[in-house]
Every structure is written in C-alpha cells, then in structure tokens.
Chains A and B, each alone.
Chain A
C-alpha cells in the first residue's frame, strides 16, 4: 500500500511531467512545478479520482503546494 505522498507524487509526475526529485512538500504547483491555472484544476480532478473523493471548489483553492495536497487528503481520510 503506497502512502498518500507517494500516490500524490505519482499523479503530479504524470500530469506535470516533472522529475520525481522536484516534487518536494514545499514545492508550489504554479511557481516551482511549472503548472498553469488549468493544470492545477486538472491536478485536483485527478487527485479526486485517485483518492475517490470530492474536493469542493473552495477547498481546491487552498491546495497550492505538494504538502497542502497531501495534508488535505490525509485530513479527509481521517
């Protein structure tokens, strides 16, 4: 069973085409990983599919870094 971080990392690598060692917890999707606003929307969509959850538009706006995505998903998984 992969950890949340491992699964999030894989989604990010697949979607943004970045190198695994660039995907650090503090990395910002837009500033560090070269995502545009639409990429971030798509990323959130894929995280929803990967973790079988719904992320509201308000929550999605708070997800801007790798760490914030992991933290959000972990909090929802209780």
Chain B
C-alpha cells in the first residue's frame, strides 16, 4: 500500500535530474504518472519503463511548458489516459547562468519563460479539472536561491522567487475548491551537474551545510510525495526547504 494509491500525477521535466526521481517515487507510492519531457524522449521512455518494471503505470509525453498549446495537450492527454489529475508537480526548469552585466536578454527570457511562465500555464490548465474534482495538489519546485539570492543567477533566482509568490497566490485562490498549492525548495542536491564540480568548490559548499552532506534527488521526491498525500491535507501556500540546513 502506497501513500498515493489510485492517484494520478503529472511531473513536468521528468526525464532526468530531480524530476526523474520525483516521477519514480510518486509511482513507487502508487500514483500513475505522466512523465513529461521537452527534448529527452529516450530518457523519458526509460523512466516510464522503470516504473512499469516495478508494476506501476506511466506514459511519456512531450510538451514545452512555456507553450500554452503544448500544455493543453499535456493536460488533456493525461486526463484521457488516467481519467483524473490529482497531482501536478511543476518541476521543469533550466539554467542560463551569467553575471548580470553580461546576461543577454534571451538568457533572461528563456529562464523566465520555462521556470515561471511554465508554472503559470500548467497551473492554469490543470485548475479546470481540479476545480471540477473539488480536489487537487499542485507542488512547485523552487530553489534555495529563490530566497537567498545567488550571484550569477539573476534570471534563475527571479524565476524561483516568482514561483514562491505564484504558489501563495494560487493557494489563496484555489483553497475554497480543496486544491492545495505548495513549493519545495531544494538546496544543494547531487546530480550529474554537481558531480562535475571541482573538489575545492564542493568542499566549500559542504562547509555551508550544517548536516555536512549534499542532498539526494530522492530527498526532494519524498517531500513532494508528502505534500501530495493525505498527510498534508491542511498545508497550503507553504515552501518546504530541503537543504540540510544550508538556509534557515
């Protein structure tokens, strides 16, 4: 018996990184999962296969979250396959890091479009169904830097801080229809990207983490599953920080 038996979920950007682990973990808790991807079809299909191999139900679906038509198709295809949408995890995100003074307008636009507008479009599109259901869980992946700031990531930080504001506003608008909206803010999580960092940078990062270790993607997935479950019935508009104490 899983926490999410019989529920159906959409995870955006689920072909790799934290999104992949979220998809796998929700499936492990019994949810049927729509594995959304933008470009990595093979990786998304591998996630679907992994879920099916452990007896779960999933399918891969392409959509760019910053395109309203793609998002509409993502929602209606999922609805067609699963019959309901109980959980939306807005995870898809990109980085285009640069110093403020060197940041190109395109780098700003790309990050804001995917990381913030994408959350808006997916939330808007899923709300119709969730309002009808009189139930729904929306979980947005933000970031520690959305509250702490970070040099070289003005675009990313602005988008992630925006996601926190969007979370609170949608939580207030949708609460009367029994839809909760929360955010999870990861700290330093081990992924392919962070593995590639030089040792001295890594040890410097580690020194700022009271729990003295990097997080795993599954640490984020567990917080998401909690917010998606019955255990979190009375929680809305919140941001849960999962960062080993790196920011308090």
Main secondary structure of the interface of A (DSSP, over half): helix
Using C-beta atoms within 8 Å of the partner chain, give the interface range for chain B.
Answer: under 10
Q: Which residues of A contact B176 (CB under 8 A)?
A: 36, 38
Interface pair A45/B128, CB less than 8 Å apart: yes
B95-141 residues with Cβ-Cβ distance < 8 A to A are: 128, 131-132
Q: Which 9 A-B pairs have the closest CB atoms?
A: A42-B131, A45-B128, A38-B176, A38-B173, A38-B177, A45-B131, A45-B132, A38-B131, A36-B176
A8-49 residues with Cβ-Cβ distance < 8 A to B are: 36, 38, 42, 45
Nearest-Cβ distance from residue A16 to partner chain B, whole angstroms: 14
Using C-beta atoms within 8 Å of the partner chain, give the interface range for chain A.
Answer: under 10
CA of A42 to CA of B174 in the docked complex: distance in angstroms? Answer: 12
CA of A77 to CA of B176 in the docked complex: distance in angstroms? Answer: 33
Q: Which residues of B contact A45 (CB under 8 A)?
A: 128, 131-132
Nearest-Cβ distance from residue B21 to partner chain A, whole angstroms: 34
Nearest-Cβ distance from residue A6 to partner chain B, whole angstroms: 23
Closest B residue to A46 by beta carbon equals B132
CA of A43 to CA of B83 in the docked complex: distance in angstroms? Answer: 22
**Contact digits for A40-69, partner B, Cβ 8 Å, 1 yes 0 no:** 001001000000000000000000000000
Could you name 9 residue pairs across A and B whose Cβ atoms are closer than 8 Å? A36-B176, A38-B131, A38-B173, A38-B176, A38-B177, A42-B131, A45-B128, A45-B131, A45-B132
**Contact digits for B158-178, partner A, Cβ 8 Å, 1 yes 0 no:** 000000000000000100110
Nearest-Cβ distance from residue A1 to partner chain B, whole angstroms: 26
Nearest-Cβ distance from residue A77 to partner chain B, whole angstroms: 23
Nearest-Cβ distance from residue A63 to partner chain B, whole angstroms: 17
Closest A residue to B174 by beta carbon equals A38
Known: A36-B176, A45-B128, A45-B131. 6 other contacts (CB 8 A): A38-B131, A38-B173, A38-B176, A38-B177, A42-B131, A45-B132
CA of A38 to CA of B132 in the docked complex: distance in angstroms? Answer: 12
CA of A38 to CA of B176 in the docked complex: distance in angstroms? Answer: 9
